[in-house]
Every structure is written in structure tokens, then in C-alpha cells.
Structure 1
């Protein structure tokens, strides 16, 4: 029986030090070294971050420069746009405008360069730059008199965008009205189906600029530009 008795355990003494009692400051050289080490690591971290930020800024600037150069090349290529003569060419052009963003941006920039003077003058330049009077004779703005609808084509959106970007006070009815007038008179213009002579330009043909060239910045109010 005596062998089954358990020996009493030694009492456990609990540290009654108050939790809010401040601990003695470790002023040893080891603690000072640790603090200095943390300071150096923080400084290195900040320095590394600044270097990374500088590299990222340089990369963004390089990317913007490359994109600008690509855009300039595309715009230069756009200045050699040939006049469309068939509906098939027009359909392919509109499809490319809708699907290819770089091409659309280059065409907007090209169209804006043709805009000066008045909204009507700018629209006539753009219409002549992109197509022949024979082609435009097949269209009217809303498809009246058996003609095809022009206002639903993507090239119409291109013309609107160029005009609104150039003429801040331009209104949509004004732009649509000028396009409608151009299409209305296209059959009677040089190269149109109702124009018998096609060899000599006249004042009414509105040839104050050549296709593919930048227009003059200013026009006299008395200049007869035709429609």
C-alpha cells in the first residue's frame, strides 16, 4: 500500500509582477546593434523602391515613345489612301474601320488634317479624299429615291468624329446636312454619272486642295468653294 502513495508535487511559484510594470531597458551593445541593423534594412528597402519606381517610369516613357512612333508611321501610311471607286472597296474600308482600332485612329488623324475653314468645306474634302463622285452618287444620307443609306456606314461616324474634334461648336444636324448636300450633288460633279465632261475641273468642283495633301489653314470668305 505504501508503494502506491504518490509523492507530493513541489509548489509552483507564480510571478506576481504587475503586467503594467515597465521592463528594464536593454541598453546593451547587442540591442543597439539590432536597432541599427533594422534602420539600415529600412533604408535599403526605401532606396530599392525608389530605383524600381524610376525604372517603371522610364519603361512607361519608352512605351509611350514607341506607340507614338508607330502611330506616326501609320498616319504617314494613311496619307496615301486612294479614292474608293466601288461599293466593295467601301464595305471593306468600313469593316476595317470597325474592327481595327489602330487603323481607325490613323483615319481619324488623317481626316482631322483635312478639316479647316468651315464644316462644309471639311466634309467635302474628306468625301473627295475617300471616294469618287461616281461612288457617292449611289448614296443618300437616309437612302431616299432608291439610293443606299450612307448615315449607317462607319465612314459617317469617322466624318462626324473628325468634325466634332476640329469644330468644337459643330452640331450633329449641321454635319449631317452638309453630308446630305454633298451626296445630293455628287451625280452632277466631276466624275459623277451626270457630268459629261471629266477632263477639266471647274470652280463648282471645289478643288481648292488636291487629294492626299494638307489643305490651307485659312480661306477667304469670298472664295467660291461649291458643294
Structure 2
């Protein structure tokens, strides 16, 4: 479903990704963990070309891009069509403040997929129900909690009926008591077989929900393996050091 080979990214003199190789199978859930600045979010954004790599290849489904051989990015319309196959949820919710939750979820199907309004509304109501917000359909974002806004953002991404979902620290902007409701929606998606790549600091969630955990540091994949094996018995010293705080919490 996703295949990355030799991926590189620099911002000025700062090399953020150093020859990353990563494969994600259809229906697999992969969690990216690591310290701040390790390249996790940049890697995620390279997958749907929000950030353009400086080298390597990216394949998402049937679409392949070579950034070493001089391939040009597709035009704006083709790029939007490519990104529509990949739902992305960010730290910040980025909802339209002047539109209700229902209207926010309908926007993509109406404007990008050219869906008829009755069908778009039916789909949006179904997805709001899926994320537990059917009773908030007519509310504006200013009347919603952070957790509710993020669940609307997930419903909005799902409204494009993507082949895979990317989550970039989807709970990091939330108050601790609201994190669980968003993780619950993500866990349900995983159980339904959605292909997902998740950047997260929620180590317990990664351990329980992900099929694999990938640990990055300084733009390099240090460790990649089954979620519980990487988290419970990491093989690399750097992974053990990073997870030591989490293990102390569990033991306490």
C-alpha cells in the first residue's frame, strides 16, 4: 500500500530524513515514535507530498514518484486527486469556523468529489455518527471541545473515502481528559482494517493498536518491528533510552 525507498529531505543545511526505507501493507497500522525533531512528521507529510522529498521514491497505492530521477510533480488538479486517496489528520483541527460540523464534513465530497448535496449530507451524517457526534451536526466549531473538533476533523478526512489515513500527533493539542475519545475513534478505524500511519507520543496506544512500531531518531529508522516487541523488549539502546520513561510509568 505504501512503499518508501531512499527517502531524503533537507531544510536548508538541516538534513531531516536520511535515506528512509519503509513499507506498509494494506490494512496495516504503523506507529511512528521518536523524540521531537526526529523526522516523524516530515516523513508523514512526504507520503502525500505536502512536503516534497529531495531524493528517493514514494509509492502510494498505484502511484509512484521518483525524486532522484527528475520526475516532476503532477499538476495541481492531479496532485489534489492523489491526496484525496489519503486522509490526513493534523495536530490542529483546521475546521472552517463559519461552518457547522456537518458542513465541514460535507465540504470535501461537494467541492472535490462533486457529490450531489443530498448524498454528501447523508455521508456526512453517517460519519458524524461514526465518531459519536451525530448530536453535534449543527454546532459551529466554537461550541465544540477540542476532542469533538478533532473527531469532526477525522470525519472530514473519512468523507473523502480515502484508501489510507495519516495521523500527525492527532491528540497532542488536546487536554488529557479528551485524548481518549479521539484515540477510541482511531482504534475503531484500525479494527475495521483501515491502513494507517500514526505519528504519536501515546506509547500505550501504539502498543495496543499498532501492528508495527517504527522508532526514528535524527532522521534515521533505528528500529522497526512488531509493536509489543519494540515497546516491551527493544533491541536498540536508543529505543530503550527513549522508552525508559514509559516503562517506569508502567512499573509505577
TM range (shorter): under 0.3
Q: Hey, which of these two has a bigger chunk of helix by percent?
A: 1
TM-score, normalising length: structure 2: 0.25
Higher strand share: 2
